[in-house]
Structure 1
Amino acid sequence: MEGSPSMSYPPSPWSLRGRMHVSVWAVPLADVPALPPSLSGAVRVLRLFGRAFVGTAWVDYQPGGDMSYHELLSAVLTRAGWRPRVTITHIWVDSVASRDGGRALWGIPKDLAAFAGSFGEGAASASTADGPIASAVLPPGNGIAPRLPVGFRVVQDLAGRPVTTPVRSTARYGPARVVWTVAPDGPLRFLAGRRPLLSFVAAGFRMRFGAAAQRVVV
């Protein structure tokens, strides 16, 4: 599926630039959000000693890409056989075009949220009309390594069918201490009171999200 001139979002793939702060968590399987039933035969949650791995990210998509907006997401590490995959369970943006395009093109369950603070450094927060989602203290680190390539595949439910989406990016990575405060009664409550295993910053990332021809396989 692709956008058309009458749609508010660009066609797949999207070329995006910016900075993100990523945290990785080990969460008991019983607390991990359930995947859509349509994915049951496509991917399984990757587990280790009764725990699953959850990735969260604050993302600042900056001018120079197809769109610029802010994003907060939570994703579960999954596997198709033994091939690693990522499945996004929660995601918020402050762009209607990003929300609509993410849902229509790749089955990414984007919702709208209000963001406050500075994504470059200091505190950032996200909330909806129902209340706060989370906040974090984001360090200003610019990444210390040479620019490195990363590729992975996202598997989502699109109209009741599993769809896989390739993601390719390069960035300068560096360790970061991201201090999270998660609303205990919010949609990310399964992370409330926990600490991430590790956090890092991906500075100056350049990302290609999606492909010109979307595949409904994993």
Structure 2
Amino acid sequence: MYPPEPWHLRGQMYLSVFLIPRGKLPQLPPVLGAAVRPLTVGGRVAVGAAWVRYEPGGVLHYRELLSAVLVHERGRPRVSITDIWVDSVASREGGRRLWGIPKEMAAFTIDAENEPLVDATASAGEEPLASSLVRLKGRLPGRFPLGFTVAQALGESVRRTPVRGRGGLRTATAAWRPEPTGPLGYLAGRRPVLSLAITDFWLTFGRTPADRARSSPPAKGNARG
């Protein structure tokens, strides 16, 4: 029903970063909360909210809305996805079963036909989730490496998943309009401190055979005198 890991994905991302008081954040699952802590500066935590359009050329193509919290695990930075919606059953099932990513289904519009404006909306059934108007600005020269680790609760353990890739960058401004009574209501009325478009990216999401080989314990050999 879904591809095995790793997933090779291509597309466009429209990302905004908010600084949210720690007390307003959604609760992490207990097993995850015991392993990681939100990375707090002045009582505020960095939360990323993004629209993503995964395009043909990757193993799946679909649309996505997510929010994620910057956390640390004994000083090592991690990203933990708190809310996420997709319009692909394969993506939902694979994300949940492979990596513990709590994907739900939604209907989307991510309209970039009138660039530099990108108009995005998402709703789950009859309930609106959020909308955004993103204005794309300057394009930075070159392509930039992307790399981070996603930490999620998977059953009664923590799954740590590497993400690597490369993409172009454009500066942007974004007006977010989350449904105040919805799951992203803690972002309502807040302005992002930073917005970017990550353009024409490619990502490898999940462990490759080389990753698994590096993490496996060495084979025991015969002792030599």
TM-score, structure 1 length as denominator?
0.91
Point out where structure 2 has 5 or more consecutive residues left out of the alignment: 216-225
Tell whether 2:110 aligns with 1:114.
no
| 2:198 corresponds to 1:202 | yes
State yes or no: 1:124 paired with 2:124.
no
Question: What is the aligned-residue identity percentage?
Answer: 49
Distance 1:119 1:59 in 2: 12
Q: Corresponding residue for 1:81? A: 74
Deviation, 1:117, is 4.2
Decide whether the 8 Å contact of 1:142 with 1:201 is kept in 2: no
Are residues 207 and 47 of structure 1, via their aligned partners in 2, closer, same or farther at CA, if it must alter by over 3 Å?
A: same
Gaps of 5+ in 1: 1-7
Q: Partner residue of 2:57?
A: 64
Which one-letter code corresponds to 1:181 in the other structure? R
Alignment-derived partner of residue 182 in structure 2: 186
Indicate how the Cα distance of structure 1 residues 141 and 15 shifts in structure 2: closer, same or farther if over 3 A, else same.
Answer: farther
Q: Is the 1:54–1:75 Cα contact (8 Å) retained in structure 2? A: yes
* 1:100 and 2:93 are equivalent in the alignment: yes
Decide which moves more: 127-136 or 115-124.
115-124
| 8 Å CA contact retained: 2:10, 2:58 | yes
User: What's the CA shift for 1:64?
Assistant: 0.5
Aligned residues: 209
Q: 2:165 aligns with which of 159, 164, 169?
A: 169
How far, CA to CA, are the matches of 2:112 and 2:123 in structure 1? 15
Per the alignment, do residues 71 and 143 of structure 1 end up closer, same or farther by CA in structure 2, a change over 3 Å counting?
farther
Measured in 2, the distance between the counterparts of 1:63 and 1:153 equals 24
Superimposed CA distance per residue, residues 132-169 of structure 1 (whole angstroms, 9 cap, x where no aligned partner): 11001123558423111121000000012111000001
- CA–CA distance in structure 1, aligned partners of residues 132 and 34 of structure 2: 36
Query: In the alignment, which residue of structure 2 is the partner of 1:5?
Result: none
| TM-score normalised by L of structure 2 | 0.88
